Amino acid sequence: MLKELKPALLMLALMTVVTGAIYPLVVTGVAQGVFPHQANGSLIEQDGKVVGSELIGQPFSDPKYFWSRPSATGPTPYNAGASSGSNQGPLNPALADAVKARMEALKQADPGNPAPIPVDLVTASGSGLDPHISPAAAEYQVGRVARIRGLDPANLRALVAAHTEGRQLGGLGEPRVNVLALNLALDAGGR
């Protein structure tokens, strides 16, 4: 029995060193060398202070800002340690109630807006952390943000267009707007 146990223990020790130390060090080194911004969380800094990440949504409720997609994480919204969807199916009354409440909040914030509300403003993403909204969701909010900030809607639409990211690699995904980046540009005077 000792004859079979010795090679098994040696293989365990070898694989522990290879997969538990060497491989993570190599991957971390390559990531830091080739993609340092992404490897460090794609953090956004303003005046030397980290204000968020390009990858994690943030709650915005002040009407002078573009609002993010709702978050389904708990116990607080956009909790990166608890990434999850709501697991509520389309026939779940709780989901229908949540969507109705979100639609009502959007209508109260901009009562003169007759446009249909884009679905991504009233439903959470699968991760509950989505930092992006669709260009249609941004367009829906242009009137409210422009009115409250005293901006020309055409100039605000140009700012949204400047912050609209295209499809990845020319064909993957959909165009999207990073809400944090857009709101930071608003606060910086539209840069």
Question: Could you tell me if 95 and 45 lie in one domain?
Answer: yes
Residue pLDDT, tens place only, 166-176:
998 888 999 99
Question: Could you tell me if 33 and 48 lie in one domain?
Answer: no
Question: Could you tell me if 82 and 14 lie in one domain?
Answer: no
Q: Is the CB of residue 129 less than 8 Å from the CB of residue 83? A: yes
Domain around 45: 41-187
Q: Is 102 exposed, middle or buried (0-12, 13-18, 19+ CB in 10 A)?
A: middle
Using DSSP, state whether 59 is helix, strand or coil: coil
Question: Could you tell me if 18 and 47 lie in one domain?
Answer: no
Dist. CA 79–CA 71, nearest whole Å: 9
Q: Is the CB of residue 138 less than 8 Å from the CB of residue 115? A: no
Tell me the whole-structure pTM to 2 decimals: 0.81
Residue pLDDT, tens place only, 34-58:
999 989 989 998 888 999 999 999 9
Question: Could you tell me if 93 and 138 lie in one domain?
Answer: yes
Average confidence score pLDDT of the chain = 91
Question: Could you tell me if 96 and 125 lie in one domain?
Answer: yes
Question: Could you tell me if 50 and 23 lie in one domain?
Answer: no
Question: Could you tell me if 74 and 92 lie in one domain?
Answer: yes
Nearest CA among 104, 122, 101 for reference residue 113? 104
**Farthest-apart Cα atoms in the chain, separation:** 82
Domain count, the chain: 2
Position 191 pLDDT exceeds 60: no
Calculate Rg over the CA atoms of the chain: 22
Phi, psi (degrees; rounded to nearest 5) at 44: -105, 125
Mean of pLDDT values over 74-93: 82
Q: Is the CB of residue 133 less than 8 Å from the CB of residue 178? A: no
Question: Could you tell me if 28 and 122 lie in one domain?
Answer: no
